[in-house]
């Protein structure tokens, strides 16, 4: 009854970027539908058309606001706003804006470049430059799935009310669907799923700013854990060639200063197990656990002085929390006197 009587309160509870992005998607898609209903055949100023988008550069990002079919529109409204709301509550408005722009923009840039390469090789401008219209939020959806794989990989979800699987399995299933549809001739717009996965992983792996997890006042970037490495997405037989190729690309990117300055402090090799990277990650986790323990001690202590039930810094719980490097565990298990 509360929700039904106060829809304005429900809307106000949605973070600002998620609210604005959802409203822009609804309005832009409705405007596109009205143009088509009015008889307008081509809209290169709204969607990404490789042969014309060089004259409309804003479409590399704004084309994500256009859903051209009812099914795509419904799927987007069901999945994207709720997901962005969750991520924005964790990351903040600035980080979610960067995540959206990077995931959509770079995926469309790669698709644009691929179509021009295909045109140079095959020479079919009518199909490859003007016959494909990239639009919608498939790239963003894939990047969101990558973010969920980083944050809640073991969470169980039910797909279509039938299949039950873990979150970490969904992105590769989506990529498999994209690959099959591209092979049978539906390159546009399904291929942007491939690019959205890769761009989303690169951004979260190397570039996303972890301001809340700073150690000793130093801001870190990305997630260098082994569970989020590129190898973790592929079966074991592909690990060796990917390791060789990945290390070459990583070393080249480091020499060209394409990675954040602190990246080398966290991990000196992209896919191999590097002791220095493991130590830095362990130190980060220990610092987070110690900070959480200090906050818990401060909350447990009465205003006038210490209590006999308050945890002592020298008690066995403190080194245990530091050794395990897990802040959530230290918070969820109160220390007993």
**What's the whole-number mean pLDDT along residues 220-238?**
86
Place of tokens 């401060």: 298
pLDDT higher than threshold 50 for residue 184: yes
pLDDT higher than threshold 60 for residue 247: yes
pLDDT higher than threshold 50 for residue 312: no
In degrees and rounded to multiples of 5, residue 38 shows phi and psi of -80, -5
pTM score, whole prediction: 0.75
Q: Among 173-177, 215-219, 270-274, 291-295, which is the least confidently predicted range? A: 270-274
**What's the whole-number mean pLDDT along residues 133-144?**
95
**What's the whole-number mean pLDDT along residues 188-198?**
93
Cβ(17)–Cβ(81) under 8 Å?
A: no
Q: What domains are defined for the chain? A: 10-207 (1.20.1540.10), 212-297+316-332 (no CATH)
Question: 191, exposed or middle or buried, with CB in 10 Å at 0-12, 13-18, 19+?
Answer: buried
* Other CB atoms within 10 A of residue 220 CB: 22
What pLDDT shows up at residue 306? 44
pLDDT higher than threshold 90 for residue 215: no
């Amino acid at each position: 009854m509360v929700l039904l009587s106060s829809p304005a309160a429900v809307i106000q509870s949605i973070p600002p970027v998620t609210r604005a992005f959802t409203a822009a998607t609804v309005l832009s898609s409705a405007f596109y539908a009205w143009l088509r209903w009015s008889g307008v055949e081509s809209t290169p100023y709204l969607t990404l058309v490789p042969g014309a988008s060089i004259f409309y550069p804003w479409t590399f990002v704004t084309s994500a606001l256009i859903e051209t079919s009812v099914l795509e529109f419904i799927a987007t409204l069901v999945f994207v706003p709720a997901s962005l709301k969750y991520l924005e509550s964790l990351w903040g408005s600035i980080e979610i804006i960067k995540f959206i722009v990077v995931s959509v923009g770079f995926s469309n840039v790669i698709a644009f470049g691929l179509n021009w390469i295909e045109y140079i090789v095959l020479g079919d401008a009518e199909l490859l430059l003007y016959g494909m219209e990239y639009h919608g939020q498939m790239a963003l959806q894939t990047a969101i799935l990558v973010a969920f794989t980083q944050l809640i990989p073991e969470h169980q979800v039910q797909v279509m009310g039938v299949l039950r699987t873990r979150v970490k399995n969904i992105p590769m299933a989506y990529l498999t669907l994209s690959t099959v549809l591209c092979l049978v001739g539906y390159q546009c717009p399904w291929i942007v799923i491939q690019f959205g996965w890769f761009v989303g992983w690169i951004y979260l792996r190397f570039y996303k700013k972890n301001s809340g997890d700073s150690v000793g006042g130093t801001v870190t970037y990305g997630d260098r854990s082994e569970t989020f490495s590129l190898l973790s997405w592929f079966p074991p037989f592909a690990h060796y060639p990917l390791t060789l190729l990945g290390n070459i690309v990583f070393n080249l990117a480091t020499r060209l200063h394409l990675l954040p300055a602190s990246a080398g402090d966290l991990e000196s090799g992209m896919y191999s197990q590097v002791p220095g990277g493991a130590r830095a990650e362990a130190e980060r986790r220990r610092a987070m656990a110690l900070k959480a323990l200090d906050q818990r001690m401060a909350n447990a202590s009465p205003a006038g002085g210490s209590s006999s039930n308050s945890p002592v810094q020298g008690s066995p719980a403190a080194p245990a929390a530091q050794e395990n490097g897990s802040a959530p565990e230290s918070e969820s298990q109160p220390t007993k006197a």
